[in-house]
Structures are given as C-alpha cells and as structure tokens.
Amino acid sequence: MTTLWSRTLSCGTLSVTPTGGISAIDDLFEIAERRNPKRAFLFVSKVLGRHIPVAPEKMRAVYRQLAEQFPPLSDGPVLFIGMAETAVGLGAGVFDEVRQRVSEPVYLTSTRHPQQADLLCEFKENHSHATDHLIYLPDDAQLRQRVLNARTLVMIDDEATTGNTFINLLDALRNDGGLKQIEQVIAVTLTDWSGDALPARCPVPVRSVSLVQGDWHWQQDPDAALPPMPAVALNDAATVPITGKQSWGRLGMEAPASDFGRAIQAQPGEKILVLGSSEFVWEPFLLAERLAAQGAEVKYSSTTRSPIAAGFAIESAIAFGDNYGLGIANFVYNVAHQQFDRILLCIETPIDSVDPLLTTALARVAPQVEVISYE
C-alpha cells in the first residue's frame, strides 16, 4: 500500500495511508509536534475550531456530514457523549444535527472540572497529557433517566487512533455506571485511524462514522530527544467558581439553550474572532453562528490546555494562566499572527478570572477585545 501523506518532525516521521472517507486529508488536518513524550505528534484539525480558527459555517457543515452517515435509530433513549476537552463542541454539533431524528436523546460531555453533582463514572485517555475524565449524571430527572436507560451510545471524539479511549469509556459506563442495557454503539470521529480495533474489542455491535479513514505509522528518530512533558493539574479543586449555566452538556443537554451573548450585535463585513474557553465552547459557537448570520466575517476558535510546539500547523501561540484557578498553562493557537476588528473571549467563570497576559496579547491582534460571560 502506498503512503500518500507524511510529515517529518523533530522526533520522527508520521506517515498516513488513507483507506476511505468522504473528505481529503489536506482539507481536514495538518500535523504538529506535541509536547508530550507519550505521543510526540498531534493531528491538528482544520475544521474543529480548537487550534485553528474556522468559519462557523464550515464547522456546521462538518456536523451535518457526520450526521448524514448515522444509521436509523428508532428506539431510544440515545446517549451522546462528547470527549473533553477537544470534542465537547464537536459532540454538541453532531448531537444538534441528529437529536430531532431520534427518540429520547440526551447529550453529556466528559469533563476535567469536578462538579457538585452525582458522578456516573470516570475513565482515562491514556495518551493524553491530562488523562482523567469525569462523567456526571444530569440534574434534570428526565435526562437522568435517559442516561441510565440508554439503549444506544454515541461516542464522539476528534480522532480515533487505537480505539482505547472509546473502549475505556464504554467499560466505565457499563461496569461502573451500570449502563448494562446498551445494545449498540456508534463511534463518531473526524478522522479514524483505528481500523478494526474497535469492533474487535467492543462487547456490543459498533458502527464507526468519520470523514476519513486510514492507517498511520510513527517512525521514531532514535537520536532525537523527546519533547518535555509540562506539569498538568489533574482534577485538582479549582479556586475560581464556575458561574456560567450548565446547560450545554456537562450536566446534560436535550436542546441548545442559545442564550449566550444575545445582546451582542455585529456589523456587516466586520472581522470577528469568537474564542471559546476550555470546555465552554458550544454556546460560544452558537454566538459565532448568529454573528455570521448578521453578515460579519466570523472565525471561531478556543483556548486549550493542550501543549503543542510551534511549527507546522501551529504558526503562533499565546500562553497564559487558566481562568479556573487550577494554576495550569492554557494556550491560544494561530491567533497572534492574525488581525481582527474584534475579539470576543467567552468564559464560564467571572470576568476578572481572565489572565491579563491573554487580554494583552489579544489586544495586539484586535483593537476591540471583549470578555463575555453569563454574569
């Protein structure tokens, strides 16, 4: 089989051989170096709206492309789970496109922010720089019953490489969460490199949905030094309270609230960057869509805790302290080298929780920087 795509990084060479799909590789991702010795490379999505600013209409089109591949799901409840932090918004977008076609839908996200709520289960994402994921039961009684009685599980992540994270999640839901009645699984990703690994290990029937499938091979350079692993706080208690509404998935969602930043208006042709933050990305994305519908030239992206080296897909980086009081580094990628008329930084914590390093850096990119919250 001929390798059709490869990149040589400082630690080795990544080769990808497409085996199927409905999208071209170059339309979906570029590569970057991850500052993580467990996996020294990272597929950086061009359509996710996390590490590269993306037009919201392009993101919505991806949600629809994935939703169109779903099989008929006549019997509910159907539990959708989006993976923190990268796929929280992707999961919500896929859920938004599918929810009216299924019975008793409910969307949950995994989280790395402990909640004052009933824990359903926890699981690990072994290759990540922050491995621990928590999943909570919804406060709403009806949504809670949908979770506990789910017959179909839809797991959404940006990519699948080995299938391990999906298997870890399913095991935790069935064995720790008691969701033994799950009859089928749908694994949704933008890019699927896992081959037959998931069906071979899944205890219930599984169907995979993605935009491109293929095989990847990492050839480590034995003489190269591994990138350093930065210190990361794992599920430590935050010192800053979450003041935003928990209506977008962390504690369950049936339909988008669409109530964030409702008073904000845009001018036709205005260049606006909407920045979500950490796991708080779905309602900010809906704000970006509304501003684009008003005629603005909108891009959407988000802050992240994922440490990525500069180069390749990462043209610029801003580093700053997180707004949850965890004392960990956060980043905004591929924004500092651009120019906008206006930047809207969207947070679920108090406005004064934002590190001035971030707002100062953003002020070099746009003459108008606004911090938006539910306050």
Average of per-residue pLDDT across 298-312:
93
Q: Is the dihedral of CA 69, 152, 86, 49 positive or negative?
A: positive
Does the pTM exceed 0.85? yes
The pLDDT of residue 41 is: 86
The pLDDT of residue 37 is: 66
The pLDDT of residue 236 is: 54
Average pLDDT of the residues of the chain? 92
Identify whether the C-beta of residue 56 lies closer than 8 Å to the C-beta of residue 300: yes
The pLDDT of residue 255 is above 90: yes
The pLDDT of residue 4 is: 73
Higher-confidence residue of 354 and 124: namely 354
pLDDT band for position 126 (cuts 50, 70, 90): low
Proportion of the chain above pLDDT 70, given as a percent: 93
Q: Please name the residue that has the structure tokens 């406060």.
A: 139
The pLDDT of residue 365 is above 50: yes
The pLDDT of residue 203 is: 92
Residue 304 half-sphere exposure toward CB, CA atoms < 13 A: 26
The pLDDT of residue 176 is above 90: yes
The H helix count followed by the E strand count for the chain is 8, 20
Tell me the CA distances in angstroms from 312 to 8, 32, 91, 308, one per residue in order: 10, 5, 26, 10
Strand ranges in 64-156 using DSSP code E only, listed in sequence order? 78-82, 105-109, 119-124, 132-136, 152-156
Strand order across the 152-156 sheet: 105-109, 78-82, 152-156, 184-188, 206-209
Among 41, 88, 97, smallest CA distance to 68 is for 97
Identify whether the C-beta of residue 134 lies closer than 8 Å to the C-beta of residue 148: no
How confident is the model over 18-74, as pLDDT tens digits?
Answer: 999 998 888 999 999 887 766 788 899 999 999 999 999 999 999 999 999 999 987
Angle subtended by helix axes 282-293 and 88-98, to nearest 10? 60
Proportion of the chain above pLDDT 90, given as a percent: 76
